[in-house]
């Protein structure tokens, strides 16, 4: 069948043929445009046809208009817990979904321990290893309440959270494990006194410490009932033998995942495209049993047709992990087609606890908007 608009030389136009849908793509082109075909060796048609004039000769307008996007876009939440969520985004393109994923992992700010002032460490864990482990402990505090601390700033109650860790294993007692619940929040700032050169300075004023808190952080309304603590109290930080002691102060500041992974607010965030499993021909009896047993995640089911005949059906395509077992033997590729829908993304977000996952996603979208605005102002 000839594709494209009818030419003057032919006596009839392709649009006069009864089965060519006008204003829509023919089914094989629609398959190419909207599905990734996962064959036995490699997937094909993976790129998304974005160019606005892509199907111009068929009379299709591939350019996006905001109203078409707004009408077709849907979000369906599948699972929403305190720390993770799974939801479907339908009608969006991979470029934007990937931008959200990258922002979730690397550009959402969090609070994490950055400076560790060690007064005493006689344990076998080295100072730097201890400091590194402390940095990776997730802290349950909303980072939106704090500002960034830059090099010229002084650490004050608006940009620093101070923790103290003082553990000692007495001689004669058994070994102890230092867990993250040993980190105590100091709402009034640092307690370590800075050594000043002039010992004759007025001793009536308060000694200078490493932070300059104007007021106690406990007075901030959000922290009155919820003290700032690590999210998980049972993270092992160090182990002490008899006679060993750790005394340190840890300052947590705001940062983004790009600088260091400790500031990433998600354990991880990922998406996959919705799998579509299609039976190209009727699969009956023994072949149906074989197909059902091949799939490790039970995508297929057998239904009874009566008179002892059975037929295979696709029951749970969403569970498909694309292991390609169902197309692995000979001839199976002609019977089963594995595809992915290009504009349906199943997003999973696992938060480390600072913010709930739905807030994380909203903040990520806001950050993308801010980036666009920054580009626009740079251009004008």
Partner 1 sequence: MEHGSFTDNSVATFSLTDEDHTIANAVRFTLNQDPRVTFCGYSISHPLEARVNIRVETTGGPAREVLKDACQNLMLMCRHVRCTFDKAVEDFKASNAVKAMKIDSQDSSGDDSEESE
Taking the complex as a whole, how short is the minimal distance between the CB of residue 313 and partner 1, in angstroms?
18
Q: Which residues contact 102 (CB under 8 A, 6 or more apart)?
A: none
Residue 116, strand partner residues = 250
Q: Return the residue of 14, 33, 60, 102 that touches partner 1, per CB under 8 A.
A: 102
Binding mask 106-145 for partner 1 (x = CB under 8 A): xx--------------------------------------
- Residue 95 in the binding site for partner 1 (CB under 8 A): yes
Taking the complex as a whole, how short is the minimal distance between the CB of residue 44 and partner 1, in angstroms?
21
Tokens representing 42?
């490699």
Taking the complex as a whole, how short is the minimal distance between the CB of residue 366 and partner 1, in angstroms?
7
Q: Return the residue of 196, 259, 328, 362 that touches partner 1, per CB under 8 A.
A: 362
19-78: contacts with partner 1 (CB under 8 A): 50-53, 62-64, 66, 69-70, 73-78
- Residue 103 in the binding site for partner 1 (CB under 8 A): yes
217-236: contacts with partner 1 (CB under 8 A): none
- Residue 98 in the binding site for partner 1 (CB under 8 A): yes
**Locus of tokens 């990433």:** 264
- In this structure, how many other beta carbons lie within 10 angstroms of the beta carbon of residue 366? 12
Q: Which residues contact 286 (CB under 8 A, 6 or more apart)?
A: none
What is the distance between the alpha carbons of residues 118 and 131, in angstroms, rounded to a whole number? 9
- Residue 93 in the binding site for partner 1 (CB under 8 A): yes
Query: Coil, strand, or helix at residue 243?
Result: coil
- Residue 87 in the binding site for partner 1 (CB under 8 A): yes
**Interface with partner 1 by CB under 8 A: which range of 27-35, 95-103, 144-152, 242-250?**
95-103
- Residue 80 in the binding site for partner 1 (CB under 8 A): yes
Q: Which is nearer to partner 1, 237 or 269 (CB)?
A: 269
Question: How many amino acids of this chain bind partner 1 (CB under 8 A)?
Answer: 46
Burial of 338 (0-12, 13-18, 19+ CB in 10 A): buried
Q: Which residues contact 364 (CB under 8 A, 6 or more apart)?
A: 100, 103, 104, 107, 108
- Residue 297 in the binding site for partner 1 (CB under 8 A): no
- Residue 376 in the binding site for partner 1 (CB under 8 A): yes
**Interface with partner 1 by CB under 8 A: which range of 96-104, 122-130, 160-168, 180-188?**
96-104
Side-chain-side CA neighbours of residue 353 (13 Å): 14
Contact yes or no for 118/248 (Cβ under 8 A): yes
Taking the complex as a whole, how short is the minimal distance between the CB of residue 222 and partner 1, in angstroms?
21
- Tell me how far CA of residue 123 lies from CA of 21, 27, 118, in angstroms: 76, 69, 12
What is the distance between the alpha carbons of residues 54 and 267, in angstroms, rounded to a whole number? 39
Backbone angles phi, psi at 327, to 5 degrees: -115, 20
Q: Are strands 74-80 and 84-90 parallel, antiparallel or unpaired?
A: antiparallel
Concatenated DSSP letters of 148-182: ---TTSPP-TTT-EEEEEEEE--TTSPPEEEEGGG
Taking the complex as a whole, how short is the minimal distance between the CB of residue 76 and partner 1, in angstroms?
6
Taking the complex as a whole, how short is the minimal distance between the CB of residue 111 and partner 1, in angstroms?
22
- Residue 99 in the binding site for partner 1 (CB under 8 A): yes
Taking the complex as a whole, how short is the minimal distance between the CB of residue 274 and partner 1, in angstroms?
16
Taking the complex as a whole, how short is the minimal distance between the CB of residue 107 and partner 1, in angstroms?
7
Taking the complex as a whole, how short is the minimal distance between the CB of residue 259 and partner 1, in angstroms?
12
Contact yes or no for 85/348 (Cβ under 8 A): yes
Cα 269 to its chain centre, rounded Å, is 2
Residue 16, strand partner residues = none
Q: Which is nearer to partner 1, 42 or 379 (CB)?
A: 379
Q: Contact positions toward partner 1, by CB under 8 A?
A: 50-53, 62-64, 66, 69-70, 73-81, 87, 89, 92-93, 95-96, 98-99, 102-103, 106-107, 358, 361-362, 365-366, 368-369, 371-373, 375-376, 378-380
């Amino acid at each position: 069948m000839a594709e494209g608009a009818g030419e003057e030389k032919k006596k009839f136009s392709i649009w006069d043929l009864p089965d060519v849908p006008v204003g829509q793509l023919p089914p094989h082109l629609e398959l190419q445009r909207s599905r990734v075909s996962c064959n036995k060796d490699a997937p094909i048609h993976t790129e998304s046809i974005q160019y606005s004039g892509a199907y111009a000769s068929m009379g299709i307008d591939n350019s996006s208009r905001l109203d078409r996007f707004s009408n077709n876009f849907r979000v369906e939440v599948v699972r929403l817990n305190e720390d993770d969520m799974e939801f479907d985004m339908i009608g969006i393109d991979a470029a934007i979904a990937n931008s959200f994923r990258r922002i979730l992992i690397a550009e959402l700010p969090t609070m994490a321990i950055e400076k560790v002032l060690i007064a005493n460490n006689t344990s076998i864990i080295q100072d730097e290893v201890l400091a590194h482990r402390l940095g990776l402990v997730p802290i349950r505090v909303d980072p939106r309440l704090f500002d960034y601390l830059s090099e010229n700033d002084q650490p004050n109650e608006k940009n620093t959270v101070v923790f103290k860790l003082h553990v000692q294993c007495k001689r004669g007692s058994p070994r102890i494990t230092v867990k993250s619940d040993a980190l105590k929040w100091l709402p009034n700032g640092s307690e370590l006194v800075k050594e000043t050169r002039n010992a004759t300075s007025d001793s009536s004023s308060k000694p200078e410490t490493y932070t300059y808190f104007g007021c106690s952080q406990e007075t901030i309304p959000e922290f009155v009932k919820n003290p700032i603590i690590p999210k998980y109290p049972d993270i092992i930080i160090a182990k002490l033998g008899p006679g060993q002691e750790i005394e340190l102060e840890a300052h947590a500041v705001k940062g983004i995942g790009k600088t260091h992974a400790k500031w990433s607010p998600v354990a991880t965030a990922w998406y996959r495209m919705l799998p579509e499993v299609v039976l190209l021909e009727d699969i009956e009896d023994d072949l149906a049993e074989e197909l059902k047993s091949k799939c490790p995640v039970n995508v297929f089911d057998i239904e009874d047709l009566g008179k002892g005949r059975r037929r295979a059906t696709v029951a749970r395509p969403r569970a498909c992990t694309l292991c390609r077992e169902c197309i692995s033997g000979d001839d199976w590729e002609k019977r089963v087609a594995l595809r992915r829908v290009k504009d349906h993304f199943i997003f999973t977000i696992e938060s480390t606890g600072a913010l709930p996952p739905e807030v994380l996603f909203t903040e990520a979208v806001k950050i993308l908007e801010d980036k666009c605005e920054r580009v626009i102002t740079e251009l004008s």
